[in-house]
Amino acid sequence: MLERMSYPRECFLGKRRQSRIKALAKYFHRKRGLAERPRQLRRRLDASTEESSCTAEEASGCRLVDGMLALAMTISKAQTDLRAEPRLARTATASQTGVFLLDASRHTPDSCWVILYGRVYDVTDFLPSHPGGSKIILQLAGRDATEDYDPIHPRGTLESALPASANLGPIDEATIVKPAVATAAVQPNADAADAPLDTLLNLTDFEYAARSKLSEKAWAYYFSGADDLRSKELNQTAYTQILFRPRVFVDVTRCDLSTSLLGIPAASPLYVAPAAMARLGHPSGERGIAIACGRKGILQVVSNNASMTVEEIVDSPVTPAQAWGFQLYVQDQRDKSLAMLRRVEATGRYKFVVLTLDAPVPGKRELDERAKNAGNLTLTSSVGTGTGAVATGGLGKALFVGTAADLTWKDTLPWLRAATKLPIILKGVQTWEDAKLASEHAGVVGVVVSNHGGRGLDTAPPAVYTLLEMRRYCPQVFQKIEVWVDGGIKRGTDVVKGIGRAALFGLSVGGSEGVERVIDILHEEMATCIRLLGARSISELGMHYINARALDPLLWRPEDDILAYRATAKL
């Protein structure tokens, strides 16, 4: 056991790690005759493994900060260069707070520790490169961050992001200091009343129920849209402007919703669109959605930013024929995207790749940003706040760090065709011109007409507008490739092909069974709608059953560009 010692206040209360090291160097030189330089002290700090006990009193200002006390005792006891794996020094007295005096005010970007899964990690060097920016971690400095970290990170993320030396060892959970700042903003509301699933009659009911169950941060991420939410709202209201033209004297005793998507048999034309971080809503996460989709016979497209690994989600399919698609965000470091595609193909369960194009950069989602900024600590440091692109962003913006913004028709599609053998769908088509171009490129088997759920460019057209543009200016696209839709689906009467947030709300309310209930509601409404139209199957539906004239004045026309052409000519 090392001797009990007490050191001057300035050795532990310096604003920066470097200043504390210098203070210790002066102390040892003056009192102990040791000529340790700050660089040598820093190396010893990084290598120290000695456990220690001390007498630390508030009055004297002696604090357990950055493992400095362990360093001081190690140097005073022996001048040995220890090379074992570093771990934090424990205190001997019950009055101490375990491994650290977990005081968030003492943690800065120059010295930061967090607890994850019962172990202490030194994340100081990782702060500047954290995809979400350093502030997200600094808010949790000196605390147990497991409940914040776990729902939004797939297994293996920790090991791939931090070196083994960052793992400083286990901590006695009984000694962990409770957070000084309430974490209700990031924790699900477990006390919210569980409404019986059979009492939820439509997707709006699920949305309200999910609002009472989700944490503030999860709700903000799921619900948020860009800027003034115009596109998000139009995604829903555009469907209400299309009227039906029902036929009569048709035997509608039976109704068949079954179809196929890319040749894959499906119980209906519905699919679950990619939506990130499902475990924010429920512990079963994307796997829970997969189970519901398997039981109901519909497709799921897995998000590139899922909270579970691509292997976990498709493990143990409900039926041998169950299939998935994978959404790809191409990374600046193409090797990362190639590695992910190899993992996707290795499962044998993913049957196509959905290349996302409608969000080369993140939109401004103010609700998400407000939830993220709530409770931010005021911190200063010599290293700043990490990546500038996400300095004030929320969860949504953090997910875009590292995403490539240099995708082109000329370069990206040939690269992707060479990178994977899977069929390619382009997600994010918002004009007839791009739909036509997509249909002319080899390897592209379909497009998803989408404005990113109204979360990218605000006032971008809802999918219905783009579909009508395509019908008018390039109808041949519908014969050459498959055309899917996502965004704004709230009713079976919409009779469209994509649901995303609805599945997340169902998952949040009732896990896998909640998602099943959402799918059942849409199937029931679709069947009722088709029969009341005077049709008997999906294959009978067509433009002759709808009246979309109310939207006609809102559609783009070639003459709208005349002024632009004239301005260009004058220049």
Report pLDDT digits (tens) over 294-309: 999 999 999 998 999 9
User: Which pLDDT does position 39 carry in this prediction?
Assistant: 53
Per DSSP bridges, beta strands 444-449 and 482-485 are: parallel
Lowest mean pLDDT among 8-17, 149-158, 167-176, 540-549: 8-17
Looking at the chain, how many residues does it have? 571
Report whether pLDDT(71) > 80: no
Q: pLDDT digit string (tens) for 392-424? A: 456 656 666 678 889 999 999 999 999 999 999
More confident residue, 114 or 38: 114
Residue with tokens 């809802």: 462
Q: What are the residues whose beta carbons fall under 8 Å from the beta carbon of 178, sequence distance 6 or more?
A: none
Report whether pLDDT(193) > 70: no
Percent of the chain with pLDDT over 70: 67
Q: Which two tokens stand for residue 562?
A: 């005349």
Indicate the pLDDT class of residue 117, thresholds 50, 70 and 90: confident
The structure's pTM equals: 0.71
Report whether pLDDT(563) > 80: no
User: Which pLDDT does position 290 carry in this prediction?
Assistant: 96
Per-residue pLDDT, averaged over 41-45, amounts to 53
Per-residue pLDDT, averaged over 176-188, amounts to 52
Annotated catalytic residue within 329, 350, 494, 523: 329
User: Which pLDDT does position 413 carry in this prediction?
Assistant: 96
User: Which pLDDT does position 17 carry in this prediction?
Assistant: 56
Q: CA angle, corner 506, sides to 256 and 145, nearest 5?
A: 150
User: Which pLDDT does position 258 carry in this prediction?
Assistant: 95
More confident residue, 497 or 255: 255
User: Which pLDDT does position 335 carry in this prediction?
Assistant: 94
Q: pLDDT digit string (tens) for 211-230? A: 888 888 888 877 777 777 78
Lowest mean pLDDT among 31-40, 133-142, 536-545: 31-40
- Identify the DSSP state of 448: E
Mean pLDDT of the chain: 75
Our answer to whether residue 452 is catalytic in this structure is yes
| Side chain identity, residue 411 | D
Residue 182's H or E segment, with its range, is none
User: Which pLDDT does position 167 carry in this prediction?
Assistant: 86
Q: pLDDT digit string (tens) for 312-369? A: 999 989 999 999 999 999 998 999 999 999 999 999 999 999 999 988 877 677 766 7
Q: What are the residues whose beta carbons fall under 8 Å from the beta carbon of 449, sequence distance 6 or more?
A: 429, 430, 435, 463, 466, 467, 470, 483, 484, 485, 486
User: Which pLDDT does position 35 carry in this prediction?
Assistant: 52
Our answer to whether residue 329 is catalytic in this structure is yes
Report whether pLDDT(292) > 90: yes
More confident residue, 449 or 382: 449
Our answer to whether residue 27 is catalytic in this structure is no
Classified as helix, coil or strand, 470 is helix
Report whether pLDDT(378) > 50: no
Write down all domains in the chain, each with its CATH number in brackets. 1-91 (no CATH), 225-360+403-554 (3.20.20.70)
Report whether pLDDT(500) > 60: no
More confident residue, 414 or 190: 414
Annotated catalytic residue within 130, 282, 452, 523: 452
Asked if 453 contacts 500 with a C-beta cutoff of 8 angstroms, the reply is: yes
User: Which pLDDT does position 402 carry in this prediction?
Assistant: 73
User: Which pLDDT does position 24 carry in this prediction?
Assistant: 57
Lowest mean pLDDT among 341-350, 381-390, 444-453, 454-463: 381-390
Q: pLDDT digit string (tens) for 227-280? A: 777 888 888 888 888 899 999 999 999 999 999 999 999 999 999 999 888 888
Indicate the pLDDT class of residue 311, thresholds 50, 70 and 90: very high
Q: pLDDT digit string (tens) for 150-173? A: 877 887 787 788 888 888 888 776
Classified as helix, coil or strand, 324 is strand
- Ramachandran class of 31: left when φ > 0, alpha when ψ lies in -120 to 50, beta otherwise: alpha
Report whether pLDDT(41) > 80: no
User: Which pLDDT does position 182 carry in this prediction?
Assistant: 45
Report whether pLDDT(18) > 80: no
User: Which pLDDT does position 85 carry in this prediction?
Assistant: 35
> Cα 69 to chain center, whole Å?
39
